[in-house]
Amino acid sequence: MSEHLVTAYGEELAQLGAEIARLGGLVEAQIADAVDSMTRRDVAQAAAVVAADERIDALQADVEHLTLRLIALRQPVAADLRHAMSAMKISMQLERCGDLAKNIAKRGLILAKGEPVTPFNRSIDRMGKLVVDRLKTVLDAYAAQDVERAVQVWSRDEEVDEHYNAIFRELLTYMMGDPRTITPCTHLLFVAKNLERIGDHATNIAEIVHYEFTGEILAGIRPKFDTLQHG
Amino acid sequence: MTSRTPSTVAEGGGPFRAMLETLPDPVMLVAGARPEDLAGRRFAFANPAARDLLRLPGAEGRLLSAVRHPAVLEAVDEALFERREATAIWEQGGPRDRCWRVTARPLDDIGDGPERLALVAFSDQTDARRNERMRADFLANASHELRTPLASLSGFIETLRGHARDDEAARERFLSVMQAQADRMARLIDDLLSLSRIELNEHIPPLDRVDLALAAAEVAEALQPLAKERDVALDMTTDGRSVIVGDRDQIIQLAQNLVANALKYAPPGSAVRVRVQGGMDAAAAEASGANGGEARARHALVAPDARGQTFVALTVSDEGPGLAREHLPRLSERFYRAPGQKSGVNAGTGLGLAIVKHLVNRHQGGLIVESELDRGATFVAYFPAAPAMTPRAASAGG
């Protein structure tokens, strides 16, 4: 990983962005595969997701290493410093998303041992798509240096909350109707919660992207839907 | 002339370049020098279809700024460094949820540098994927929907053979429930058959001319008894020229599904309004659901391709319980039921709006739903107006 680093400074900065793209692509695929393996009860795929989390951790460590090296050797200032810092911060957010995806896959493995709880496959699937899409949009915005698109992701997260809320209520109703479903439904509840948190991480990344390219901190009130009130 | 490195290939002109530029499928030329330097891979050429798909600012750039999916990157690497063809499936996600098969093939080295080349081509697999999934979903739903009334029928048969054998009053009651369940199954099967017939012809444009206002009036008249029974007023207004190109039976079926749906949810004492309005442009037709400036959530279930023509809109509004925003996009899915929607013997088959959607599709029209919880629902189906019946316009239209 290190012998080819005798490159120009600009190249090093660009490489940092590329590493984030690579890490991001891996995380997007992990989340999509985790949800997919759960709804299709594909044990092999779920196990593959759990195993692939190591690669995410290794990549994240690489990004951290690259960033530290760049800061130590090149002592960047202003936009370059922000670029280095945001790469490190985004990589940490992505690593968390990877952990949440792994957790979903693990729950999928447990769910596959019991009776299928099919009524929720669609809602979970839709929520998963929505969250992956938010993450994808914000990573696209990062790659294209498109602050506007990042802000769009930041300002529209009520959709994820609405989905989470709907699944939450559906699950409660289902569990009340048949207490035997409490164990699988609780796992599904955590899966939905994990997805909601991945959505939050996408929002955080949007804030980091905004700061990197404008130097200003995104402030203001986002439309927020209180999920607890409706429980 | 310098050596033919990949970048000069992309800059070169000639018919080959033009051919690549014109290819409808996205293609890219990818170059990489060292296997371990993933960040150093770049694309030396991307045709406009690829630039559009991957939202690339130019025809050259860093590969990782174009593609992030790990499976695709692996396929590219295999082609670049192991010199063999590799494929990957890439789901695009987002509003245009398309699924691509990405094929990477090694290219003979034409440069003298250390870089290796590969061709990356994308082919659209969306329809195949979607059909596969829809079929699975559909089978599961349809069998479930048919099983419910069947289970109740066999339950009652068992009871009638057992302890209710000599109870005349119970027998009558059970038989009427059984009749209702059997009717429900028949309705469901009718709808399923009708849906498959419509799908068969979905891509054959209709040829006849239908007056939407007359069709709607006919439906309103036929449903008047049902409206009376539910104590709902059925108001009908028409405005402007309302002739469209369409299949008369299908237009009537469409209007019937929309009006019957509205009647089902309208509370007693309220009114269901049916309006046919001609001579609208696309924007006006889309906005025609808005009544009195109330801001309700709206969603386009079907959007027509053709812009800049005149439309005739059929608007059906009820004052029923309405639907929350998050359910609107899914209304035309087969067997979709919003929570709290009626279920049981009198419930619909869950296919009515799916049928409407397919009919609108066939007629190259649009379908919009506008609703909010407790504030009723409005459906707008709009169709391109038929050209006037002069010979010249008729030939221009054909």
| pLDDT of B395 | 45
The verdict on residue B371 lying in a domain is: yes
| pLDDT of A15 | 84
The verdict on residue B1 lying in a domain is: no
Q: What is the mean pLDDT of chain B?
A: 83
pLDDT > 90: what percent of chain B?
Answer: 30
| pLDDT of A1 | 44
Total tally of structural domains belonging to chain B = 3
C-alpha span between B28 and B8 (Å, rounded): 15
Instruction: Scan for tokens 């919003």, then name that residue.
Output: B338
Total tally of structural domains belonging to chain A = 1
Residue where one domain finishes, among candidates B166, B200, B234: B200
In this predicted model, which residue has the larger pLDDT, B127 or A112?
A112
* Least confidently predicted of A5-9, A174-178, B240-244, B376-380: A5-9
3-class secondary-structure state, position B285: helix
Average pLDDT on B351-363 reads: 90
Write out the residues of chain A at the interface with chain B, using a CB-CB cutoff of 8 A.
1, 4, 14-15, 17-19, 21-22, 24-26, 28-29, 32, 118, 129, 132-133, 136-137, 139-140, 143-144, 162-163, 166, 170
B41 and B189 both lie in a single domain: no
The verdict on residue A69 lying in a domain is: yes
The verdict on residue A56 lying in a domain is: yes
SS3 track for B196-228: HHHHHCCCCCCCCEEEHHHHHHHHHHHHHHHHH
The verdict on residue A228 lying in a domain is: no
Average pLDDT on A146-157 reads: 87
| pLDDT of B38 | 78
| pLDDT tens by residue, A48-83 | 999 999 999 999 999 999 999 999 988 888 889 999
> By residue range, what is the domain housing residue B90?
6-124
ipTM: 0.79
Report residue A6's pLDDT band, with 50, 70 and 90 as the boundaries: very low
Residue among A124, A128, A127, A146 nearest A137 (CA):
A146
Question: How far does CA B5 lie from the centroid of its chain?
Answer: 46
Q: Is the pLDDT of residue B243 over 60?
A: yes
B133 and B118 both lie in a single domain: no
The verdict on residue B397 lying in a domain is: no
Decide: pTM greater than 0.80. no
The verdict on residue A227 lying in a domain is: no
C-alpha span between A61 and B242 (Å, rounded): 67
C-alpha span between A40 and B38 (Å, rounded): 32
Cβ separation A18–B73 shorter than 8 A:
no
* Least confidently predicted of A125-129, A149-153, B89-93, B127-131: B127-131
Helix, strand and coil content of chain B, in percent to the nearest 5, comes to: 45, 20, 35
B109 and B144 both lie in a single domain: no
B209 and B194 both lie in a single domain: no
The verdict on residue A221 lying in a domain is: no
Within 8 A of A136 by CB-CB distance, chain B residues are: 93-94
The verdict on residue A197 lying in a domain is: yes
| pLDDT of B324 | 83
B333 and B353 both lie in a single domain: yes
Task: Pick left, alpha or beta for residue B278 (phi over 0 → left; psi -120 to 50 → alpha; otherwise beta).
Answer: beta
Residue where one domain finishes, among candidates B160, B180, B200: B200
Residue where one domain finishes, among candidates B79, B98, B124: B124
| pLDDT tens by residue, B16-61 | 888 888 999 999 999 998 888 777 888 999 999 999 888 888 888 8
B252 and B359 both lie in a single domain: yes
* Least confidently predicted of A109-118, A202-211, B267-276: A109-118
B160 and B229 both lie in a single domain: no
B191 and B254 both lie in a single domain: no
Q: Is the pLDDT of residue B7 over 50?
A: no
Q: Is the pLDDT of residue B11 over 80?
A: no
> By residue range, what is the domain housing residue A15?
3-214
Domain containing residue A163: CATH number: 1.20.58.220
The token pair at B90 is 């890439």
B183 and B46 both lie in a single domain: no
Q: Is the pLDDT of residue B372 over 90?
A: no
Q: Is the pLDDT of residue A121 over 80?
A: yes
Sorted by sequence, the CB contacts under 8 Å of residue A125 that are 6+ apart come out as A35, A36, A39
Residue among A73, A82, A223 nearest A161 (CA):
A223
Domain containing residue B154: CATH number: 1.10.287.130
Which residue among B65, B326, B339 places its CB closest to the CB of A21? B65
Domain containing residue B98: CATH number: 3.30.450.20
By C-alpha distance, the chain B residue nearest A5 is: B37
The token pair at A116 is 């299928």
Domain containing residue B344: CATH number: 3.30.565.10
The verdict on residue A220 lying in a domain is: no
Determine the angle formed by the axes of helices A9-40 and B70-81, rounding to 10 degrees: 120
What is the end-to-end Cα distance of chain A in Å, rounded? Answer: 49
| pLDDT of B25 | 92
The verdict on residue B396 lying in a domain is: no
